[in-house]
Amino acid sequence: MHSMPAVTLSPNGKWLACQSMDNQILIFGAQNRFRLNKKKIFKGHMVAGYACQVDFSPDMSYVISGDGNGKLNIWDWKTTKLYSRFKAHDKVCIGAVWHPHETSKVITCGWDGLIKLWD
Protein backbone atom coordinates (compact mmCIF):
# COMPACT_ATOMS: atom_id res chain seq x y z
CA MET A 1 0.00 0.00 0.00
CA HIS A 2 1.30 3.47 -0.93
CA SER A 3 1.19 6.68 1.08
CA MET A 4 -2.09 8.61 1.01
CA PRO A 5 -1.49 12.35 1.43
CA ALA A 6 -5.08 13.47 0.82
CA VAL A 7 -8.11 12.10 2.69
CA THR A 8 -11.73 13.22 2.96
CA LEU A 9 -14.79 11.97 4.83
CA SER A 10 -18.01 11.29 2.91
CA PRO A 11 -21.06 13.50 3.61
CA ASN A 12 -22.84 10.60 5.32
CA GLY A 13 -19.82 9.87 7.51
CA LYS A 14 -19.57 6.23 6.38
CA TRP A 15 -16.56 6.37 4.02
CA LEU A 16 -13.05 7.79 3.79
CA ALA A 17 -11.72 8.53 0.30
CA CYS A 18 -7.92 8.36 0.27
CA GLN A 19 -5.79 9.62 -2.62
CA SER A 20 -3.05 7.02 -3.01
CA MET A 21 0.30 7.85 -4.59
CA ASP A 22 -0.12 4.88 -6.93
CA ASN A 23 -2.79 6.72 -8.98
CA GLN A 24 -5.83 5.31 -7.20
CA ILE A 25 -8.48 6.58 -4.81
CA LEU A 26 -9.07 3.94 -2.16
CA ILE A 27 -12.22 3.83 -0.06
CA PHE A 28 -12.20 2.76 3.57
CA GLY A 29 -15.14 2.23 5.89
CA ALA A 30 -15.15 5.02 8.51
CA GLN A 31 -17.31 3.24 11.07
CA ASN A 32 -15.82 0.80 13.57
CA ARG A 33 -12.59 -0.39 11.89
CA PHE A 34 -11.01 1.34 8.93
CA ARG A 35 -11.49 -1.47 6.44
CA LEU A 36 -10.57 -1.20 2.75
CA ASN A 37 -13.57 -1.55 0.44
CA LYS A 38 -11.98 -3.55 -2.40
CA LYS A 39 -15.03 -3.02 -4.64
CA LYS A 40 -14.63 0.78 -4.56
CA ILE A 41 -11.32 1.73 -6.18
CA PHE A 42 -11.21 4.72 -8.51
CA LYS A 43 -8.49 4.71 -11.22
CA GLY A 44 -7.48 6.48 -14.39
CA HIS A 45 -5.75 9.63 -13.20
CA MET A 46 -2.10 10.58 -12.58
CA VAL A 47 -1.31 11.87 -9.09
CA ALA A 48 2.03 10.22 -8.28
CA GLY A 49 4.08 12.83 -6.44
CA TYR A 50 1.15 15.20 -5.80
CA ALA A 51 -1.25 15.48 -2.86
CA CYS A 52 -4.32 16.11 -5.03
CA GLN A 53 -7.48 16.67 -3.04
CA VAL A 54 -10.40 14.27 -3.38
CA ASP A 55 -14.06 15.01 -2.58
CA PHE A 56 -17.55 13.49 -2.64
CA SER A 57 -20.56 15.18 -4.21
CA PRO A 58 -23.04 16.22 -1.48
CA ASP A 59 -25.50 13.52 -2.61
CA MET A 60 -22.72 10.89 -2.84
CA SER A 61 -23.32 10.26 -6.56
CA TYR A 62 -19.77 11.20 -7.62
CA VAL A 63 -16.16 11.35 -6.47
CA ILE A 64 -13.83 14.05 -7.85
CA SER A 65 -10.10 14.68 -7.91
CA GLY A 66 -7.64 16.85 -9.71
CA ASP A 67 -4.47 15.34 -11.14
CA GLY A 68 -0.88 16.08 -12.08
CA ASN A 69 -1.85 16.89 -15.66
CA GLY A 70 -4.22 19.69 -14.62
CA LYS A 71 -7.36 17.65 -15.25
CA LEU A 72 -10.49 17.34 -13.15
CA ASN A 73 -11.67 13.73 -12.94
CA ILE A 74 -15.24 12.77 -12.02
CA TRP A 75 -16.15 9.16 -11.20
CA ASP A 76 -19.54 7.57 -10.66
CA TRP A 77 -19.73 6.45 -7.01
CA LYS A 78 -21.84 3.35 -7.69
CA THR A 79 -19.90 1.93 -10.65
CA THR A 80 -16.44 3.47 -9.94
CA LYS A 81 -16.20 4.23 -13.68
CA LEU A 82 -14.79 7.52 -14.92
CA TYR A 83 -17.80 9.70 -15.72
CA SER A 84 -16.02 12.78 -17.06
CA ARG A 85 -12.55 14.30 -17.39
CA PHE A 86 -11.51 17.71 -18.65
CA LYS A 87 -8.56 20.09 -18.57
CA ALA A 88 -9.13 22.43 -15.62
CA HIS A 89 -5.68 24.02 -15.19
CA ASP A 90 -2.45 24.50 -17.14
CA LYS A 91 -0.46 22.95 -14.30
CA VAL A 92 -1.30 20.49 -11.50
CA CYS A 93 -4.95 20.62 -10.35
CA ILE A 94 -4.17 20.25 -6.66
CA GLY A 95 -7.59 21.00 -5.18
CA ALA A 96 -11.15 20.04 -6.10
CA VAL A 97 -14.20 20.45 -3.88
CA TRP A 98 -17.90 20.21 -4.47
CA HIS A 99 -19.94 23.31 -3.64
CA PRO A 100 -21.86 22.37 -0.47
CA HIS A 101 -25.13 24.10 -1.42
CA GLU A 102 -25.13 24.35 -5.22
CA THR A 103 -24.55 20.71 -6.06
CA SER A 104 -23.96 21.26 -9.77
CA LYS A 105 -20.85 23.34 -9.03
CA VAL A 106 -17.24 22.34 -8.36
CA ILE A 107 -14.34 24.57 -7.33
CA THR A 108 -10.78 23.75 -8.40
CA CYS A 109 -7.38 25.30 -7.75
CA GLY A 110 -4.14 24.67 -9.52
CA TRP A 111 -0.44 25.35 -9.51
CA ASP A 112 -1.14 27.89 -12.25
CA GLY A 113 -2.31 30.20 -9.44
CA LEU A 114 -5.99 30.11 -10.42
CA ILE A 115 -9.16 29.20 -8.54
CA LYS A 116 -12.03 28.23 -10.85
CA LEU A 117 -15.75 27.61 -10.41
CA TRP A 118 -17.24 24.97 -12.74
CA ASP A 119 -20.93 24.42 -13.44
DSSP conformation class of 11: T
* pLDDT for the residue numbered 25: 95
Torsion of CA 87, 88, 94, 98, to 10 degrees: -120
60-93 pLDDT, tens digit per residue, is 999 999 999 999 999 999 999 999 999 999 999 9
Q: Which residue type does 29 have? A: G
- In sequence order, what DSSP letters do the residues of 27-86 get, joined into one string? EEE-SSS--EEEEEEEES---TT----EEE-TTSSEEEEE-TTSEEEEEETTT--EEEEE
Q: Does domain 6-118 have CATH number 2.130.10.10?
A: yes
27-56 pLDDT, tens digit per residue, is 999 887 778 888 899 999 999 889 999 999
